[in-house]
Amino acid sequence: MFFATLEGLRRFNIPHKFEFVSIITLYAKWIRNGRLQVTPEWNREGLRFAVQDPCKLVRQGLGDEVAEDLRYVVKQVVGEENFVETWPNRSNNFCCGGGGGAIQAGFTENRMKYGKEKFDQFDRVKPDVVITPCHNCHTQIMQLCDHYGGRWKTTHLWNWLVKALVR
């Protein structure tokens, strides 16, 4: 829905009087200006986190700026020392294989084959958790992990943001 609205505004040059931003950008802004106070103190076990840069949000959507905001928020929430970077990343990241209706289409075997490169990408950095802001990526990466025997959990960013909130 985010990308469809963004692309509709672009493609049809629809005049509008609002800024179109991701919630990730707002999280980053609010953390930077102190409106949203977080601490990585909860992560005493030193869980290692990686992120998935969704195609529609980053490469085809808002670009590397939102990918940087994602990394900033994750590092603030889990601790910079607990963040592991995959390669390639940001606008050059591999597609997970779950978008464009693939999750809903039912071709699970094809998605697993296509997503093997994505699985290998995460498996190389050995995260405990993969954070993804896209529900299609979330489902695909979770299923890739199960299918190929990965050891990470796949979650959305807000799960960890809540843990890191300063009370």
CA distance 72 to 93: 17
How is residue 80 written in tokens?
């910079």
CATH of the domain at 87: 3.40.50
Domain that holds residue 103: 2-164
- The pLDDT value recorded for residue 83 is 98
pLDDT tens per residue, range 32-79:
999 999 999 999 999 999 999 998 889 888 899 999 999 999 999 999
* Residue 98 near residue 136 (C-beta atoms within 8 A): yes
Closest CA to 53 of 41, 71, 40: 71
Question: H helices within 86-156, ranges in order?
Answer: 102-105, 108-114, 116-125, 135-148
* Averaged pLDDT, 24-39: 97
Report how many domains make up the chain. Answer: 1
* Averaged pLDDT, 27-35: 97
Closest CA to 144 of 97, 106, 107: 97
- The pLDDT value recorded for residue 84 is 98
